[in-house]
Chains A and B, each alone.
Chain A
Amino acid sequence: QVQLVESGGGLVRPGGSLRLSCTASHFSFSDSYMSWIRQAPGGGLEWVSFIGSSGLYTSSADSVKGRFTTSRDNAKNSLYLDMTSLRAEDTAVYYCARHELENDPFEAWGQGTMVTVSS
């Protein structure tokens, strides 16, 4: 059974930085596209970024472009989201999700990790 486990969330001050991790198991991670999707408290879903299977191809939402960087280590079955210049509006649960190709559906989601940006 596909398993995705996020970690690294927490409380951070505005302007601060944080690194989220997503550890994958029970599927071929190196053959999968991966995305980060976030959900503000009581809110809807917002796609943040995706990364291709080799790690060479990434795309991100305008709201995080220039501040967030997505990367992966296929040897460690791990996905990362480096977040800098954090703002209050970045407060959300961050999910990692697996998909076959860039515009394929999100077949599996992690449980999420909460990021709170507050002074």
Chain B
Amino acid sequence: QSALTQPPSVSGTPGQRVTISCSGSSSNIGDNPVNWYKQLPRTPPTLLIYTDYRRPSLVPDRFSGSRSGTSASLAISGLESDDEATYFCGAWDVSVNGWVFGGGTRLTVL
């Protein structure tokens, strides 16, 4: 069981906006920023959003993140077929002195 809770799957049609939630606790999301990773099949994850809402230079602004209390969310607007992937949230956890992740959310573009 993952320390952070994500929905197993979400779906949307091209052009639509979808959100993925990530729920944690006071020892992780409640006190530390959240990062999001995107993983395509049979490839390593790549950093998508860091420090709650910041985007690496090559990530389009269709992707946005936010954090409030012990939850965070990733929003993807203008959905494209290339967005079909699994998305993981991760945060530092002071109680384990290490990182915890969500179980991952598989996004399907219908």
Q: Of B17-25, B68-76, B77-85, B98-106, which stretch is located at the interface?
A: B98-106
Answer yes or no: B37 CB below 8 A from chain A CBs: yes
Answer yes or no: A52 CB below 8 A from chain B CBs: no
A105, B51: Cβ atoms under 8 Å? yes
A47, B98: Cβ atoms under 8 Å? yes
Tell me the count of chain B residues lying within 8 A, CB to CB, of chain A.
24
B50, A60: Cβ atoms under 8 Å? no
A111, B90: Cα distance in complex, Å? 19
B98, A45: Cβ atoms under 8 Å? no
Neighbour of B47 across the interface among A62, A103, A105, CB < 8 A? A105
A107, B51: Cα distance in complex, Å? 12
Neighbour of A44 across the interface among B35, B50, B98, B103, CB < 8 A? B103
Answer yes or no: A35 CB below 8 A from chain B CBs: yes
Neighbour of A105 across the interface among B50, B102, B104, CB < 8 A? B50
Contacts of A109 in B (CB 8 A): 44-46
A109, B102: Cα distance in complex, Å? 18
Considering the complex, give the chain B residue whose CB is closest to the CB of A49. B98
Chain A residues in contact with chain B, CB under 8 A?
35, 37, 44-47, 49-50, 59-62, 95, 102-103, 105-107, 109-112
